[in-house]
Amino acid sequence: MLILTARLGRVHYVTIRLATQADIPAMHRVRLAVTENRLSDPSRVTLADYAPAISELGSGWVAEASGKVVGFAIGYRSGNTGPSS
């Protein structure tokens, strides 16, 4: 497992690591809380969409600060464009 830790500012440390199934609820909370790139219909992304996105369709990473998921990224493998591909 690759874990990267960076110090931001004076006191904040962010750890980047591969996402796991256990991270899905926190990833979903982050997705629904964003103010940029907001979904016009939040019901279009469901909890069930994350599992294939971070396993068979691609990979995912989470950013943690103080043990809490504060961000995430998902990259799809070549030929996959998301849950409907």
Residue 77: its pLDDT value, please? 87
Nearest to 47 by CA among 70, 25, 73: 25
Kindly report the pTM of this predicted structure: 0.79
Residue 65: its pLDDT value, please? 86
Say yes or no to pLDDT of 14 above 90: no
pLDDT in tens, 31-85: 999 888 888 888 888 999 999 999 999 999 999 988 899 999 999 987 766 666 4
Please give, one letter per residue, the 3-state secondary structure of 42-82.
HHHCCHHHHHHHCCCCEEEEEEEECCEEEEEEEEECCCCCC
For the segment 4-31, the average pLDDT, to the nearest whole number, is 82
